[in-house]
């Protein structure tokens, strides 16, 4: 039985991916922050479903912004499992507002979850993934890791960084037998759009006048769409994760767009030959593709 670790499993994509993998025969470590506090009901819900359906799910505490928390989980997994095959980096938060008006501390907080959190978990579990016969890392990115959305600037920056990190890892880990893929979701009704804080730099905010209302208007438009019959189903992301895992080793795509794409598939198709040519011919590293 292959073993998977999923971050951010208390809701949305992480919760659905946990159930999808477990129902398809995987042993899943469903991790979340504050599993004995704010998210205790989600922990209990997953454990009840696991008992009812005879699923192999272990709910564990993990704060991807904490070195100590990542270390504690790593030690627990090593002691109880000894190995791991799949890491799904799903935990994330989204800051939506006037880009200039976010304080430096807020920008660091956004990156600490969306970017540095992925680095923490990847570094922690790569020694185990390298020992797997079919190790794979799947990072949940966003269309905003390829396209720039005004008023999503801090979030976009964190996802652009994640995309670069993921693609570099894919090349470097190929000779070691570990695959890396990125899933780029479009907008989905998971609550992520409303997960970030308000801007702290009030002086900068005031200089934008009536424009300060634009971010909340955008969110209201998305909220209306999410309540419509045309709203996409977040289960699509969980299905994409399963699809990538069950793709043959070495054939997994670097990027998989899921949901409304806003032209991201076209962008990826146009840039892929340029990137591959760069690796093959400019760098003479074609063996890494």
Chain segment 202-228, per-residue pLDDT in tens: 999 999 999 999 999 998 999 888 988
Cα angle for residues 154, 160, 161 (degrees, 5° grid): 95
Residue 230 — pLDDT band, cuts 50, 70, 90? confident
pLDDT of residue 282: 97
Q: Which domain holds residue 141?
A: 3-288
Q: Distance (Å, rounded) from C-alpha 116 to C-alpha 161?
A: 10
Domain count for the chain: 1
What's the start-to-end Cα distance of the chain, in Å? 29
Q: Is the pLDDT of residue 190 over 90?
A: no
Chain segment 96-117, per-residue pLDDT in tens: 999 999 999 999 999 999 999 9
Active site residue 10: yes
Residue 193 — pLDDT band, cuts 50, 70, 90? confident
Cβ atoms of 85 and 132 within 8 Å: the answer is yes
Q: Distance (Å, rounded) from C-alpha 219 to C-alpha 212?
A: 13
Handedness of CA 43, 48, 51, 55 (dihedral sign): negative
Q: Give the residue-averaged pLDDT of 74-103.
A: 96
Active site residue 103: no
Q: Is the pLDDT of residue 258 over 90?
A: yes
Which one-letter DSSP state was computed for residue 288?
A: G
Find the CATH number of the domain harbouring 182: 3.40.50.720
pLDDT of residue 191: 80
Active site residue 155: yes
Q: What are phi and psi of 21, to 5 degrees?
A: -70, -45
pTM (2 d.p.) = 0.96
Per the structure block, which two tokens stand in for 106?
A: 């807020």
Catalytic residue among 141, 142, 166, 240: 141
Active site residue 141: yes
């Amino acid at each position: 039985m292959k073993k998977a670790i999923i971050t951010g499993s208390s809701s949305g994509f992480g919760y659905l991916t946990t159930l999808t993998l477990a129902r398809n025969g995987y042993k899943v470590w469903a991790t979340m922050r504050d599993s004995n506090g704010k998210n205790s009901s989600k922990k209990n819900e997953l454990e009840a479903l696991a008992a009812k359906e005879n699923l192999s799910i272990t709910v564990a505490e993990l704060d991807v912004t904490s070195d100590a928390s990542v270390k504690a989980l790593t030690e627990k997994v090593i002691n109880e499992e000894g190995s791991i095959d799949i890491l799904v980096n799903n935990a994330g938060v989204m800051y939506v507002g006037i880009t200039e008006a976010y304080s430096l501390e807020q920008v660091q907080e956004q990156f600490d979850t969306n970017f540095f959190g992925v680095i923490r978990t990847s570094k922690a579990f790569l020694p185990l993934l390298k020992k797997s016969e079919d190790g794979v890392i799947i990072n949940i990115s966003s269309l905003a890791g390829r396209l720039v959305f005004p008023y999503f600037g801090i979030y976009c920056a964190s996802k652009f960084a994640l995309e670069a990190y993921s693609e570099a890892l894919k090349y470097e880990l190929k000779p070691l037998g570990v695959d890396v893929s990125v899933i780029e979701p479009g907008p989905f009704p998971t609550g992520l759009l409303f997960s970030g804080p308000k801007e702290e730099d009030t002086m900068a905010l005031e200089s934008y006048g009536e424009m300060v209302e634009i971010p909340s208007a955008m969110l209201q438009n998305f909220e209306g769409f999410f309540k419509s019959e045309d709203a996409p189903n977040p289960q699509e992301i969980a299905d994409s994760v399963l699809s990538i895992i069950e793709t043959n080793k070495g054939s997994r795509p670097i990027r998989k767009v899921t949901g409304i794409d806003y032209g991201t598939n076209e962008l990826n198709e146009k840039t892929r030959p340029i990137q591959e040519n760069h690796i093959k011919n400019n760098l003479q590293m074609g063996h890494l593709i």
